[in-house]
Chains A and B, each alone.
Chain A
């Protein structure tokens, strides 16, 4: 069975945020509601300060804590969809417990104060959905949390399931360089200028993602929580430094 996974090579990533932008455009997310984000953080002090960055999509965990805590089964892991974790907007009651339980902070409750002004929801008011921007993705599936969300529900990255689901059956990798698969490649992977992202089947021994994880010792973020992400990181900087009070830096 297909198990979709992503590999992000931090030695290649330039932190350009093209993935963030592509994701926002593909999924009509609100400004600041970044299903995919590149986080910047710093360690040390001048002259030995180090600025690093971390691209962070939803990890689509193998053992997702968000699924276990959801009191309504609105958030669920769909093994038939390659192990992607979805939010069923028809079942979500907006309790936000999944946001508490997610160790990666990749879930959003968009019915809140705007992170960026002006509030797009007022500029493009929507009927039955949070907003109605001029361009809207043609595919929407509220059972999988795809499209423009209604009020009062939690949203998250879907690994662009509306694209991935149309890939030819049994394909090992979805690669923007391959004309046969580029249309089915997630937006963040397809747009990545330095090709720091790879997307493929973790259950297929022939896949590029498996080769990279094995050859370059792919690591998973916060693996101690037991969530076992399906997103792997390569290269230096994959270990996120522990929080330190700004006063101490």
Chain B
């Protein structure tokens, strides 16, 4: 146990209890709403069937995948500088995926029916079927890997094999999630063969934001309280990795936006012009949540500053959440037939119940994370120092 970890003391208990209360209250509110009014408590319609709860699920699921990929840096690829966050990343990956699944469950019309109807019908043509299969496999391998770490089995053959399997499951799950959108030729804003690459990049970006924020949180936002190897990682390679991933994300958004502004296809052009870039919220999330953090991380003198790292992680958290929201809604705002029911872009604003689900998922994440810090040693890492090969490779 690490003495600098404030979440192992009263602070952690308080965070866990408060977050659990918020999560339960939010669940109770949404549950009662759904029981009494059904999905009338949502602002989604038959024209925009997927709203903020789906965007929240997407955000959490991809952040989970990103965390799995970050853990793989040290556990699969041997970048041992990132070992200090491997266990925390795996744990966060599990709990954020659970939070996402909880939000998704509240969005579905019949969640329990899903448990028997999917395995009994084996609709292998559906990307959503495979998304379910791969995310369940992902969750199992993550838990298995975590169990090995709990047993101090860092380098055994089985542990390594599970790590590789977990990494593959993460790739398949998030790649498939991308295909759920990317294969929709009738929704041109989403229709993109490179969607899995975009999802991988943004997944790692949101995963980095999560692991940076939650690691700092564990140590009371005081880097000096971190164990030596964790501190060294945050002083060096973490900022560089963050810069690289954010840079690639900016590039990808830029290319998509450029194509969007150029094309005549209304479902793409109008969405970029009149829905995304016309929205001050989107503009703010793009410039302050992704571009500005990239610039900060690009400057060598700034990227290792602890306060800026926390700020950047929070900005990227918010920026990518908005990115997911605008992505999900953006694919649906142009009516399939402009006419009787919609003359302009379809209007959608999340309802209170939909916001409550986002709050429920977030609070659930904080509560489970605080429990993890309290009862499981998430700062744990192998006792051996980094090997020279790993250090060179990571550098």
**Other-chain residue from A105, A109, A245 in contact with B270 (beta carbon distance below 8 A):** A245
Contact partners of B343 in chain A: CB under 8 A: 246
| Cβ contacts under 8 Å, B113 to chain A | 91, 93
Stretch from B22-30, B127-135, B374-382 forming part of the interface with A: B127-135
Contacts of B47-96 to chain A: CB distance below 8 A: 47, 49-50
**A50 at the A/B interface (Cβ < 8 Å)?**
no
Contact status B126-A70, CB under 8 Å: yes
Contact B46 A243, beta carbon cutoff 8 Å: no
Interface string of A109-149 (1 = CB under 8 A from B): 11111110001000000000000000000000000000000
Q: Is B125 an interface residue (CB 8 A)?
A: yes
Chain A residues with Cβ below 8 Å from B109 are 92-96, 109, 111, 151-154
Which of B42, B47, B338 contacts A41 (CB under 8 A)?
B338
B121, closest chain A residue (CB): A73
Docked CA distance A113–B128 (Å): 26
| Residue A216 interfacial (CB < 8 Å) | no
Cβ contacts under 8 Å, A113 to chain B: 40, 42-43, 45
Measured in the bound complex, the distance between the Cα atoms of B114 and A69 in whole Å is 15
Could you say which residues of chain A place their CB within 8 Å of the CB of B274? 245, 247
Partner of B336, one of A93, A97, A105, A247: A105
Q: Measured between C-beta atoms, what is the minimum distance from A72 to chain B in Å?
A: 4
CA distance A41 to B114 in the complex (A): 39
B231 at the interface (CB under 8 A from A): no
User: In the docked arrangement, what's the CA distance between A200 and B344, Å?
Assistant: 36
Nearest Cβ in chain B — how far from A129, in angstroms? 12
Whether B126 and A243, one on each chain, are in contact in the complex, defined by CB atoms closer than 8 angstroms, is no
Please tell me if the beta carbons of A111 and B40 are within 8 angstroms of each other in the complex: yes
Judge whether B337 and A74 touch: CB under 8 Å. Answer: no
What's the interface size class on B, roughly? 35 or more
Contact status of A109 and B39, CB under 8 A, knowing A71-B129, A100-B187: yes
Q: Which partner residue on chain B sits nearest A105 by CB separation?
A: B336
Q: B residues within 8 A CB of A16?
A: none
Name the B residues within 8 Å of A99 (CB-CB): 46, 49
Contact assessment for B50 and A100 in the assembled complex, using a CB-CB cutoff below 8 Å: yes
Nearest CB to that of A152 among chain B residues?
B109
Contact B126 A71, beta carbon cutoff 8 Å: yes
Interface stretch, picked from B10-18, B178-186, B314-322, is B178-186
Chain A hits for B254, CB < 8 A = none
**Is there an interface contact between A69 and B266, defined as CB atoms closer than 8 Å?**
no
| Residue pair B121, A112 in contact (C-beta under 8 Å) | no
CB-CB under 8 A for A39 and B49, given A93-B111, A152-B39 = no
A152–B46 CA distance with the chains assembled, in angstroms:
12
Which A positions have Cβ atoms within 8 angstroms of B? 33, 37-41, 53-54, 56, 65, 68-74, 91-97, 99-105, 107-115, 119, 151-154, 222, 225-226, 240, 242-247
Additional A-B contacts beyond A93-B108, A112-B40, A152-B108 (14; CB < 8 A):
A38-B340, A53-B339, A54-B339, A65-B185, A65-B186, A68-B126, A95-B128, A97-B128, A99-B49, A104-B336, A109-B39, A109-B109, A112-B44, A151-B109
